[in-house]
Amino acid sequence: MDEIKLILPQIKAPTGEAFEITPTDEPGVFKTYSGSDLNFGHGTTTYIAYVYSNDGRRMFYSDSRTNFTLTIPEPGEYKVHICAEKDYIAHNGKYILGFSGIKPKKTDAVPEWSDDMAGTISAAWRPTKETKVVFPESMRKLSAEEKAKLETPVEYQYGSADSTEEDFKKGLVSYKTVAGTRVREIHIDAVTPGKKTVVAGLCDMHINYVNEEDENDAEIQYTNKTRYWGYGNSLTQRALYGMAFADIYDQCVIAGDILDYMSMGATRMVIDGIVKPYPNVLMTPGGHDITKNMETGFKDALPVEERRAHLQSFWPHDLFYASKVVNDSVLCVAIDNGSGKYLDCQVEKLKADVELARKNGYTLLMFQHEPIATDIEKYESTSCLDTNCSDPVKQNFNFRASNNIGGADRVETEATKQIFEIIRSSADVIKGVFSGHRHYNFYYEITADDGSLIPQYVMRASAYEEYGNIAKIVVE
């Protein structure tokens, strides 16, 4: 490697100590100070270093994930910047932004940046043409031996084959399979033991596609110019691979944000890629499914009733509430809370399903898009289970906060209050609540009226894995 020249910042702490950068024996690799005792005038914290590449299209950084190692793969002259690794409160009460607030921002020229979580952030460019999508064959038709082989774990993201049953019950086991699909395996004790039923949960596919039917829709055309993530079907293939894999199991449920926004192109893709080949699928809408405006700064011109009517025109069942008994053992409920609330039309239906589950000994699993609030204090700061989550905003989440459905300080609709109370009073049959929305895997619980705990599982976005991502929910 040719010479690397670093231009160091002219900054010292009030007491004289300085942030140290030390070259190693490996070309382009530098160790940076890893202590948490530096004070540059605002209070002690941990600092990191970062530089921009010569073309401005990459940022190289050191932090705790890189073991405070800064790797610069190209020769040249680099100006070194330092900042706090995380946001913190200064001694004078001032809020100081850390690295998350300094990372490169979206611009017209660079609509997205991707972080490899290993020291490099790279500019991601909008595709110049749409991605060709292949509709994979369902794996349901394969022999039992072929299915078992494709399901075999080849790499564990967390947990292992030797994980405890308690870990499986909390969804603390995730692996990549021979098929390439990523699986989070969750075990649930059946209300009536004796039958094994497996349900596949998916969410947040964000199918983003515009076709010729959208040409005269001004809202869709404007969104198509401003919304870059998933542009031109670039995420759709992942969803379809996930669906083909999920069809191995007894039932598949998708928990919202199937469309990235309500274009006809995405609608046709959902019909042809999901609804027609998998007619037994259960689906709940999310906030993305019901809007035409995404990252435009404008509200939808079309009334919500008309947008809901469009979804209902191709939805495989009632948009707001659907339930299905699977294997005469598990009762799957798909309920719409994608607008941040429950609806009047859902209350009596959920009551009836709870009673049906009690009468017949069914295990009831609820699927919805948005998570609901917990009353348990320890979940005020809940870490996501995924080790490859690079977004500090999503690494931790407060599931006790009042802005979650059912939060103590929220002003709720009467229907929302009633649904929340039905859940809390039905721990004898409701054995799991599954949602998406946060895009990463989380586990937490709420306290039922009888003092028992109802598990809640937030599922990872299907859009994040090349060959699909599912929650494999084993009820036995």
Residue 14's pLDDT is 63
The answer to the question of residue 133 being in a domain is no
Residues 186 and 312 in one domain: yes
Residues 80 and 203 in one domain: no
Residues 290 and 176 in one domain: yes
Residue 168's pLDDT is 97
Per residue in 85-104, pLDDT tens? 888 887 777 788 888 777 77
3 state DSSP class of 419: helix
Residues 318 and 196 in one domain: yes
Per residue in 461-473, pLDDT tens? 999 989 999 999 9
The answer to the question of residue 134 being in a domain is no
Structure-block tokens of residue 413: 């609709």
Per residue in 233-261, pLDDT tens? 889 999 999 999 999 999 999 999 999 99
Which residue range is the domain that position 439 belongs to?
139-475
Contact 436, 255 (CB under 8 A): yes
Residues 187 and 84 in one domain: no
Residue 391's pLDDT is 64
Structure-block tokens of residue 6: 């670093």
Last residue of a domain, one of 79, 99, 124: 124
The answer to the question of residue 185 being in a domain is yes
The answer to the question of residue 131 being in a domain is no
Last residue of a domain, one of 65, 100, 124: 124
Per residue in 258-290, pLDDT tens? 999 999 999 999 999 999 999 999 999 999 999
Claim: this prediction has a pTM higher than 0.85: no
Residues 120 and 157 in one domain: no
Q: What percentage of the chain carries pLDDT values higher than 90?
A: 63
The answer to the question of residue 428 being in a domain is yes
Residues 101 and 180 in one domain: no
Residue 277 to residue 259: CA distance in whole angstroms:
17
**For residue 230, what are the contacts with CB-CB under 8 A and spacing of at least 6?**
206, 207, 208, 236, 260, 463
For residue 195, give the CATH number of its domain. 3.60.21
Find the range with the poorest average confidence among 105-109, 295-299, 332-336, 444-448. 105-109
Residues 114 and 150 in one domain: no
Residues 120 and 172 in one domain: no
Last residue of a domain, one of 124, 155, 173: 124
The answer to the question of residue 130 being in a domain is no
Structure-block tokens of residue 316: 């495989």
Given a cut of 90, is residue 396 above it in pLDDT? no
How far are the Cα atoms of 105, 144, 207, 309, 313 from residue 266, in angstroms, in the given order? 28, 33, 6, 16, 14
The answer to the question of residue 281 being in a domain is yes
3 state DSSP class of 212: helix
Measured distance between the N- and C-terminal CA atoms of the chain, rounded to whole angstroms = 58
Neighbour-count burial for 59-82, b at 16+ CB within 10 Å, e otherwise: bbbbbebbebbbbbeeeeebebeb
Residue 124's pLDDT is 64
The answer to the question of residue 132 being in a domain is no
Residues 120 and 249 in one domain: no
Residue 52's pLDDT is 86
Residue 58 to residue 140: CA distance in whole angstroms:
43
Task: Return the bridge partners of 330, or none.
Answer: 326, 363
Residue 263 to residue 259: CA distance in whole angstroms:
8
Contact 385, 173 (CB under 8 A): no
Structural domain count of the chain: 2
Residues 35 and 85 in one domain: yes
At how many degrees (to 10) do helices 414-424 and 344-360 cross?
10
Residues 120 and 159 in one domain: no
Residue 10's pLDDT is 65
Residue 110 to residue 97: CA distance in whole angstroms:
22
Contact 119, 71 (CB under 8 A): yes
